[in-house]
Amino acid sequence: MNLPQKKALVTGAAGFVGSHLVERLLGAGASVRAFIRYTSVHRPSHLEAIPRQLRDGLEIMAGDLRDLAAVRQAVEGCEVVFHLGALVGIPYSYLHPLEVVETNTLGTLHVLLAARDYQVERVVHTSTSEVYGTAERVPISEDHSLRGQSPYSASKIGAEKMAESFHAAYGLPVVILRPFNAYGPRQSARAVIPTIVSQALTASTVRLGNLEATRDFTFVEDTVSAFVRAGEAQEAVGRIINVGSESEISIRDLANKILSLAGRAAVLEVEQVRERPTKSEVRRLLSDSSLAHSLLGWRPQWTLDTGLQATIEWIASHPEAYDAGRYEI
């Protein structure tokens, strides 16, 4: 599939990864419709960061994934659908599980129904490494068991299984990606790397939750490259594919690395409000991305150090986007 010749829909387009994907698609010459969640302010959030010269091929449509009519309107006329729209905050899912399930699971069903009815050529569905829960073995391959350790991860398991079923039952050409902890410029303070960076740049104490949990961090530009390849590679249809760096680091070591790169000194402090319930905490994630290598021809190009340096520089130049003293959920 030649994406520059296609009309692509990106749900969750105003978000962190979504805005980077929109920018990449526009830069490649694709025509893009961005589906964003309606607010009364009607500002396209991170889409405003896309260079103005690229925006001629961008159409912005506001709505809600829970509204089937709005989703159908967004999908109509599009040939490829990149479905990234979701409520992704795990602590938020503890407080509002119904909203999270309605948005993530029912919203995905709405996207799939519309894609089936309008006979789109490809749906790239965004899952998450959180569907695995705490690793039973590492590295984690796609056949690892699934565990809903938070309402968020359970909602994404349901959404993923719905996407899988539409491929099996209706022949809908679906690719399911399971990204491992994307990070980079534009990410909100609810994620751990911006949390660490924004505090490291402004305070003498960095307050965090579990310091011993390990994660596999993937720079956003690499994550976006996997999405693009998933939209193009015929071999990927009907497959579930991990997208990770195949390297893990503890949150403690990550924080110390960021402090070193930023040239800052700070004390690490565990703050109870930031800790997750014991049985809900995912303690270890490490990707086996061999399927991404073979099916997508994808490998990460950014090291953790270079990605962190780019992220630190972006956050330092956008202090207005972060309140380092506030715990974001």
Catalytic residue among 38, 94, 132, 152: 152
Cis amide bond preceding 139, omega within 30: yes
DSSP annotation of 141 reads P
Burial bucket for residue 236 (CB in 10 Å: 0-12, 13-18, 19+): buried
Q: CA nearest 296: which of 250, 240, 217, 230?
A: 230
Task: Establish how many alpha carbons lie within 13 A of residue 144's alpha carbon, considering only the half-sphere containing its beta carbon.
Answer: 26
Beta-carbon contacts of 270 under 8 Å, excluding residues fewer than 6 positions away, are 207, 208, 209, 210, 211
CB atoms within 10 A of CB 37: 18
Angle at 20 between CA 116 and CA 284, to 5 degrees: 85
Instruction: Identify each DSSP E strand in the chain by its residue range.
Output: 7-11, 31-37, 58-63, 80-83, 122-126, 174-179, 182-183, 205-208, 214-215, 218-219, 240-243, 249-250, 267-270
Beta-carbon contacts of 170 under 8 Å, excluding residues fewer than 6 positions away, are 116
Q: How far apart are CA 256 and CA 129, in angstroms?
A: 24
Tell me the pairing of strands 7-11 and 58-63.
unpaired
74: left (phi over 0), alpha (psi -120 to 50) or beta: alpha
38 is catalytic: no
Angle at 244 between CA 181 and CA 236, to 5 degrees: 120
Q: What are the catalytic residues?
A: 152
